[in-house]
Amino acid sequence: MNSQFRNVAVIGKYQSRGIAEPLGEIAAFLKAAGVGVIVEKETSENTGLTGYPIATVSELGPLADCAVVVGGDGTMLSIARLLAPHHVPLIGINQGRLGFMTDIALDEKIAALTAILGGDYDAEDRNILQGTVTRQGQVMLDTLALNDVVVSRGAIGGMIELTVSIDGRFVYNQRADGLIVATPTGSTAYSLSANGPIMHPNLASIALVPISPHALTNRPIALSDNCTVEMALTRGKDAGAHFDGQAHFTLMEQDCVRVRRSEHRIRFLHPKGYDYFRMLREKLHWSALPPSGSK
pLDDT digit string (tens) for 89-108? Answer: 999 999 867 778 888 999 99
CATH pick for 128-262 out of 3.30.70.360, 1.20.1530.20, 1.10.3720.10, 2.60.200.30: 2.60.200.30
Q: What digits encode the pLDDT tens for the residues 65-86?
A: 999 999 988 899 999 999 999 9
The larger pLDDT score, comparing residue 41 to residue 284, is at: 41
Q: Which CATH architecture has domain 7-119?
A: 3-Layer(aba) Sandwich (3.40)
Q: What is the C-alpha to C-alpha distance for residues 283 and 46, in angstroms, rounded to an integer?
A: 29
**pTM of the full predicted structure?**
0.91
What digits encode the pLDDT tens for the residues 161-216?
Answer: 999 999 999 999 999 999 999 999 999 999 999 999 999 999 999 999 999 999 88
Torsion of CA 111, 112, 113, 119, to 10 degrees: 110
Say if CB 205 and CB 184 are below 8 A apart: yes
Domain spans of the chain?
7-119, 128-262
pLDDT value of residue 251: 96
Q: Residue 148 catalytic?
A: no
Catalytic residue among 65, 73, 103, 275: 73
Which range among 56-65, 178-187, 283-292 shows the weakest confidence by mean pLDDT? 283-292
7-119 and 128-262 share one fold: no
Per-residue confidence (pLDDT) for residue 203, from 0 to 100: 94
What pLDDT is recorded for position 3?
73
CA distance 176 to 239: 11
Between 202 and 155, whose confidence is greater? 202
Rounded Cα distance, 102 and 231, in Å:
31
Cα separation values, 161 from 152, 172, 252, Å: 10, 10, 12
Sign of CA dihedral 67, 40, 24, 20: negative
Backbone angles phi, psi at 157, to 5 degrees: -90, 165
**CA-to-CA distance for 91 and 152, rounded, in angstroms?**
32
What is the rounded average pLDDT for all residues in the chain? Answer: 92
pLDDT at 59: 94
Which pLDDT belongs to residue 131?
Answer: 98
